[in-house]
């Protein structure tokens, strides 16, 4: 648990934490700062800064042990383990609460599948087709663990031994809906469950639109499997567009109200019509690129990981140097090592991307 988590213990909200983090590199510098200055400058209650300064080592360790006992790992946005692609979205979560294999969060090929809770058999069949096909191509599936389309997508991927990420709108001690307990446990065993909410937070309605931005932020693209004219999956699709992700939709019968949303975003040009898995593979140039297993990034050095993390999209050497701060010789040396190890490949002679 990163020391920055003391801000959560002291009851700072996400916006306040983000603001403070932008101005300080070390939480101890905040703790040592004058309380009146901090309160006036950031327009944050003085009581919160007093509480922050009064947090004891014992109190901090007690909170830390509570999460360790629940087998929950907390990833701070300042940690190297934080998914680089998620950092790029507007208003990323400051802390991620995770249970399962966190390495999956760094997979290069991640697709979101979202849709209505009140699915038709046609919608279910279509999502099974895509979830199964994408899993067979070693593409990680991320979804929201709601009933309906979300559950079917994750369930199908798990059954096909695929990698999965479930993003939930509650603390990780609250299984919601309760009927998903079996799938919840399977995902912890074979994938990872993610939340931005601490233990004890109930699945309030307003949590789910916020959860949707994480689903869109982790993925290269979003597939809307079935959606009515309005719904949470369309919020996820809109967020994906805002984050410069690709959006796809499975078309439905014109007489099905539950497909009106899918058909509309296709008609408006906001989503690309897809009818088979190859449509997705072709869009991202993933066809005939079945590696078999995801690479183990835990074997990479800190410098190698810094460059590997930014290569979720193809980048030129100049872009790599600008984003990482390495000089030319350092960047070339690290990339050559990554290529030799099979983590990165050169494309078009002058750009690089993860394998």
237 in the same domain as 203: yes
330 in the same domain as 268: no
Predicted pLDDT of residue 256: 86
77 occurs within a structural domain: no
156 in the same domain as 48: no
DSSP 102: G
Task: Determine the structural domain holding residue 225 and report its residue range.
Answer: 102-283
166 in the same domain as 49: no
Q: pLDDT per position in the chain (355 positions), as tens? A: 889 999 999 999 999 999 999 999 999 999 999 999 999 999 999 999 999 999 999 999 999 999 999 999 999 999 989 998 999 898 899 999 999 999 999 988 999 999 999 999 999 999 999 999 999 999 999 999 999 999 999 999 999 999 999 999 999 999 999 999 999 999 999 999 999 999 999 999 889 989 999 999 999 999 999 999 988 899 999 999 999 999 999 998 888 899 999 999 999 999 999 999 999 998 888 865 444 445 677 788 889 989 998 887 788 898 899 989 999 889 988 998 888 788 888 876 678 888 7
Boundary-marking domain end, from 46, 69, 92: 69
C-beta of residue 343 within 8 angstroms of C-beta of residue 333: no
- Cβ-Cβ contacts under 8 Å for 119 (sequence gap 6 or more): 127, 148, 149, 152, 225, 226, 258
Predicted pLDDT of residue 292: 42
291 occurs within a structural domain: no
User: What is the separation, in whole angstroms, between the first and last Cα of the chain?
Assistant: 31
Predicted pLDDT of residue 348: 64
Residue 85 and residue 311: Cα distance in Å, rounded?
A: 9
- The predicted model scores a pTM of 0.81
Predicted pLDDT of residue 293: 47
243 in the same domain as 123: yes
50: tokens are 């007093």
89 occurs within a structural domain: no
198 in the same domain as 311: no
Residue 106: give its domain's CATH number. Answer: 3.40.50.450
Predicted pLDDT of residue 65: 95
84 occurs within a structural domain: no
- Residue 134, CA distances (Å) to 23, 193, 199 in order: 42, 19, 32
218 occurs within a structural domain: yes
Residue 318: give its domain's CATH number. Answer: 1.10.10.10
**Residue that has been written with the tokens 């719904």 in this structure:** 231
319 in the same domain as 342: yes
Residue of 202, 132, 207, 130 whose CA lies nearest to 167: 207
Boundary-marking domain end, from 44, 69, 94: 69
Give the neighbor-by-neighbor strand order of the sheet with 246-249: 73-76, 95-100, 192-195, 164-167, 140-143, 110-115, 221-226, 246-249, 272-273
C-beta of residue 293 within 8 angstroms of C-beta of residue 106: no
128 in the same domain as 240: yes
Coil vs helix vs strand at 76: strand
Boundary-marking domain end, from 258, 283, 308: 283
**Bond from prior residue into 167 cis (ω within 30 degrees of 0):** no
C-beta of residue 145 within 8 angstroms of C-beta of residue 168: yes
**Residue that has been written with the tokens 């629940």 in this structure:** 70
167 in the same domain as 255: yes
297: tokens are 């990034």
Predicted pLDDT of residue 314: 80
Q: Residue 129 belongs to what H/E stretch?
A: helix 121-136
48: tokens are 């919160």
C-beta of residue 169 within 8 angstroms of C-beta of residue 211: yes
């Amino acid at each position: 648990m990163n020391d920055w988590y003391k801000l959560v213990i002291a009851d700072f909200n996400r916006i306040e934490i983000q603001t403070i983090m932008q101005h300080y590199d070390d939480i101890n510098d905040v703790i040592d700062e004058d309380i009146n200055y901090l309160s006036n400058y950031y327009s944050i209650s003085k009581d919160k800064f007093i509480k922050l300064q009064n947090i004891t080592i014992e109190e901090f360790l007690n909170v830390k042990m509570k999460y360790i006992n629940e087998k929950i790992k907390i990833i701070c946005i300042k940690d190297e383990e934080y998914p680089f692609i998620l950092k790029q979205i507007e208003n990323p979560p400051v802390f991620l609460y995770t249970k399962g294999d966190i390495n999956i969060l760094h997979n290069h090929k991640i697709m979101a599948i979202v849709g209505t809770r009140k699915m038709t058999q046609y919608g279910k069949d279509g999502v099974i087709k895509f979830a199964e096909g994408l899993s067979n191509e070693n593409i990680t599936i991320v979804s929201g663990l709601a009933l309906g389309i979300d559950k079917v997508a994750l369930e199908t991927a798990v059954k096909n031994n695929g990698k999965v990420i479930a993003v939930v709108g509650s603390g990780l001690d609250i299984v919601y809906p309760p009927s998903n307990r079996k799938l919840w446990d399977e995902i912890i065993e074979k994938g990872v469950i993610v939340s931005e909410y601490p233990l004890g937070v109930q699945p309030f309605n307003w949590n789910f639109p916020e959860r949707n931005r994480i689903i869109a932020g982790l993925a290269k693209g979003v597939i809307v499997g079935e959606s009515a004219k309005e719904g949470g999956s369309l919020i996820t699709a809109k967020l994906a567009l805002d984050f410069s992700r690709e959006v796809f939709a499975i078309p439905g019968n014109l007489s099905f109200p539950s497909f009106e949303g899918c058909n509309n975003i296709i008609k408006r040009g906001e989503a690309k019509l897809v009818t088979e898995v190859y449509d997705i593979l072709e869009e991202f140039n993933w066809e005939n690129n079945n590696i078999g297993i995801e690479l183990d990034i835990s074997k990479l050095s800190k410098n190698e990981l810094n460059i590997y993390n930014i290569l979720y999209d193809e980048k030129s050497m100049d872009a790599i140097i600008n984003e990482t701060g390495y000089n030319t010789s350092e960047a070339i040396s690290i990339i050559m090592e990554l290529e030799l190890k099979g983590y990165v490949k050169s494309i078009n002679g002058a750009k690089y991307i993860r394998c």
